[in-house]
Amino acid sequence: MSTIVAIVGRPNVGKSTFFNRLVQRREAIVDAVSGVTRDRHYGKTDWNGREFTVIDTGGYVIGSDDVFEAEIDKQVELAIGEADAIIFMVDVEHGITGMDEEVANLLRRQKKPVFLAVNKVDNNKRAADAVEFYNLGLGDFYTIAATNGSGTGDLLDAVVEAL
């Protein structure tokens, strides 16, 4: 089994956009491992010469705008169980939500390396707004824009360093 990096977070923060950016360079999307629920997408990628499998978690079954909190919690627990590192994605456009706080609480209680990625940081104002995410109590974070790749290199440098 290869090294696994899971992307978790509430719907619409940009998880799939980031996942697609990561795996498109390889175009080697792996089908869901049998026995694993279909609401997870697996893809192979590499960064700085380090290969790993990335998991995009999400409510593919229920629908992205109507995912129950319990479903997010389940995805986070699965990620904690199987991933070697976890990218917790949040969205500066909407700021901190109750669901973000709940995910942060789950992640704080475990030992896997967690990288907080504040997505949709498309301009300087949003970069300044991102400071609110210190309130999640997870320490430092990476500001990224999954749509154009801005900041994602620094994030991935740190992630593969931890693998």
Q: Which of 72, 85, 145, 160 binds ligand GDP (CB under 6 A)?
A: 145
Rounded to whole angstroms, how far apart are CA atoms 31 and 43?
Answer: 8
Q: What's the min distance (Å) between Cβ of 53 and ligand GDP?
A: 17
Nearest to 151 by CA among 140, 139, 136, 162: 140
Residue-wise burial string across 121-149, b where 16 or more C-beta atoms lie within 10 A, e elsewhere: beeeebeebbeebeebebeebbbbbbeee
- Asked if residue 13 binds ligand GDP (CB under 6 A), the reply is yes
Q: Smallest gap, in angstroms, from Cβ of residue 11 to ligand GDP?
A: 4
Which does residue 147 touch among ligand GDP, Mg ion, none (CB within 5 to 8 A, set by kind)? ligand GDP
Residues 16-75 that bind Mg ion (CB under 5 A): 16, 58
Q: Which residues contact ligand GDP (rule: CB under 6 A)?
A: 9, 11-17, 58, 64, 119-120, 122, 145-147
